[in-house]
Amino acid sequence: MSQDAPWTIGRLLQWTTDYLKRHGSESPRLDAEVLLAHARGCQRIDLYMAFDDVPAESVRADFREMVRRRAEGMPVAYLVGHREFYSLDFWVTPDVLIPRPETEILVLRLIELARQGPNGPIAICDVGTGCGNIAVTAAKHLPTARVTAIDASPAALEVARRNAERHHVADRIDFVLGNLLSSFAEDTQFDFVVSNPPYVKEAEFAALAPDVRDYEPRSALVAGPRGTEIVERLAPEAAERLRPGGHLLLEVSPSTHEAVIALLAADPRFELVATYCDFSRVPRVVQAKKTAC
């Protein structure tokens, strides 16, 4: 193609895809499409109807700046300010982890369990809510649920609150600033405690993808040397605050799965139910049930 050829949508996408691929993006075409759609203020699908269109210089300037920052490693979700999760759109900032498809497994299991139970109000606690993707999705799909979203970060709680308002469920979610479940009295009772806690081991941090390691909040990723430090504190607190027959659902990593299983198996207040694998067929969600004792 001539260097004098116009910068159409199609040409911009092709050039940017090649450029981002050379700079290490694992999904260069998708990144290019999301960024260009954001710069144009349109849906990704609209780009395919406009391959021959030449965007205005202001659009190209915004696009160039985002591409530059993406090539430096900035995650696309932070550049555009949102990410889809469970078919809902969530506002995200560098104060929160970017929602990932693996966490949808936890939410799917939560919704299935809640719908299998008796009719009536249910109490759910989302520990370490981040952007609120678990809490908001649960409230959206379980109309009788009362959800508590807790996080130690005031900035994260503000993001979660805005997402709850965006999806019209803020009236059924209580936002609590606190460390795990220690903010609640021991007689507080939940039907479900769910969490995507920090579970990266200290030794694993350096090997994370640069766009994760360098941009997402470290405190939401790294648990400690073992990777189970947060779960070691959360599990006994959950055992005190779950109703008999209530469920604990935890997202885990393949490297911490066995340790989490052993931890829960050693607590007589829990009965292990199942482990659910992600799309790569590795352990991702552990489910335990509060016993009657």
Tens digits of residue pLDDT in 90-141: 999 999 999 999 999 999 999 999 999 877 799 999 999 999 999 999 999 9
pLDDT at 187 (0 to 100): 84
Q: Report pLDDT digits (tens) over 32-55.
A: 999 999 999 999 999 999 999 999
Q: Is the pLDDT of residue 1 over 60?
A: no
pLDDT at 218 (0 to 100): 96
pLDDT at 292 (0 to 100): 77
pLDDT at 30 (0 to 100): 94
Q: Is the pLDDT of residue 220 over 50?
A: yes
**pLDDT mean over 57-70:** 96
Q: Report pLDDT digits (tens) over 170-214.
A: 999 999 999 999 888 878 899 999 999 999 999 999 999 999 999
Assess contact for 97 and 120: CB atoms under 8 A.
no
**193 Rama class: left (phi>0) / alpha (psi -120 to 50) / beta:** beta
In whole angstroms, what is the distance from residue 13 CA to residue 197 CA?
Answer: 37
Output the average pLDDT for the chain.
94
In whole angstroms, what is the distance from residue 241 CA to residue 290 CA?
Answer: 10
Q: Is the pLDDT of residue 66 over 60?
A: yes
pLDDT at 3 (0 to 100): 59
pLDDT at 185 (0 to 100): 83
pLDDT at 120 (0 to 100): 79
CA distance to 72, 102, 192, 230, per residue, from 233 (Å): 37, 23, 17, 5
- Answer yes or no: pTM beyond 0.75: yes
